[in-house]
């Protein structure tokens, strides 16, 4: 589903203001119920595939460590 399909369905239904508020509340509740923390996602990844997860963690740490020198270099070029 993309924005165009959603907009078409929304205009077809043409809900009233009170119905729109209920729909928005239901969508927000659904999103909140399916929201997981980043730590929980990383732990699930380690449980499912420990070696690729370790590789991702290593790459993430290297990216964080390399960011300041790269930013300094980019600023020096400007």
pLDDT in tens, 40-64: 777 777 777 777 878 888 888 888 8
Between CA 68 and CA 17 the distance in angstroms is 49
* Cβ-proximal residues to 54 (8 Å cutoff; 6+ apart), any chain: 46
Question: What radius of gyration, in Å, describes the C-alpha atoms of the chain?
Answer: 22
CA contacts within 13 A on the Cβ side of 61: 6
pLDDT band at 7 (very low <50, low <70, confident <90, very high): confident
Between CA 22 and CA 29 the distance in angstroms is 10
What was the pLDDT predicted at 6? 73
């Amino acid at each position: 589903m993309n924005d165009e399909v959603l907009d078409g369905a929304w205009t077809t239904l043409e809900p009233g203001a009170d119905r729109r508020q209920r729909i928005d509340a239901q969508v927000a509740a659904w999103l909140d119920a399916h929201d997981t923390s980043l730590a929980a996602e990383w732990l699930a990844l380690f449980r499912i595939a420990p070696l690729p997860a370790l590789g991702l963690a290593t790459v993430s740490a290297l990216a964080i460590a390399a960011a300041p020198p790269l930013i300094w270099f980019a600023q020096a070029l400007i």
